């Protein structure tokens, strides 16, 4: 699933593909906004971790489950 994170005063958004469910990503965002540490931490499909201070979040867009397409489409 695709997750887009907008950061205040940053010209580009952070885009990552995650294996987590939409509910798990939403829970992580909520915990970051209301938790003690104030950090949003998400892992992508390759195991890389993105950490953003919750105070700097502009938005988090949680996309639908992405369908893997391989090869060329028939015309």
Give 72 or 19, the one with higher predicted confidence. 19
37: CB partners within 8 A, 6+ apart = none
Segments making up each domain of the chain, as ranges: 2-62
Q: How far apart are CA 40 and CA 33, in angstroms?
A: 8
pTM: predicted TM-score of the whole model, two decimal places: 0.80
Matching residue, tokens 């499909």: 45
Per-residue pLDDT tens digits for 40-54: 999 999 999 999 999
The pLDDT assigned to 67 comes to: 62
């Amino acid at each position: 699933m695709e997750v887009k994170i907008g950061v205040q005063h940053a010209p580009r958004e952070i885009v990552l593909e995650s294996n987590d469910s939409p509910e798990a990503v939403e829970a992580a965002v909520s915990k970051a906004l209301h938790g003690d540490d104030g950090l949003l931490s998400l892992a992508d499909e390759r195991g890389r971790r993105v950490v953003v201070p919750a105070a700097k979040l502009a938005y988090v867009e949680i996309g639908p489950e992405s369908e893997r397409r391989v090869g060329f489409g028939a015309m």
